[in-house]
Amino acid sequence: MITAVDVHACGEPGRVITGGVLDVPGRTMFEKKTWLETHADHIRRRMLREPRGYPALCCNLILPPTIPEADAGFVIMEQVEYPPMSGSNTICVVTALIETGMVQSVEPLTHLKLETPAGLISVEAEVRDGKVKRVTFRNVPAFATHLDAKVEVPNLGTVTVDVAYGGMFYVIADAEALGFRLRPDEARDIVRVAEMIKAATREQIPVSHPENPGIDGVSIAQISGPPSRAGVDRRNTVVVSTGTLDWSRPASWTGVLDRSPCGTGTCAKMAVLHAKGQLPLGRDFVHEGILGTTFTGRLIEKARVGSYEAVVPTLSGAAWITGIAQYVVDPEDPFPDGFTVGDIWA
> Which residue numbers are catalytic?
86
Q: Are 262 and 87 in contact (CB under 8 A)?
A: yes
d(CA 125, CA 320): 13
Q: Are 15 and 340 in contact (CB under 8 A)?
A: no
d(CA 281, CA 302): 8
- Let me know if 49 is exposed, middle or buried by CB neighbors in 10 A (0-12, 13-18, 19+): buried
Tell me how long the chain is: 346
Angle subtended at Cα 46 by Cα 84 and Cα 169, rounded to the nearest 5 degrees: 20
d(CA 337, CA 346): 18
The radius of gyration of the chain's CA atoms, rounded to the nearest angstrom, is: 19
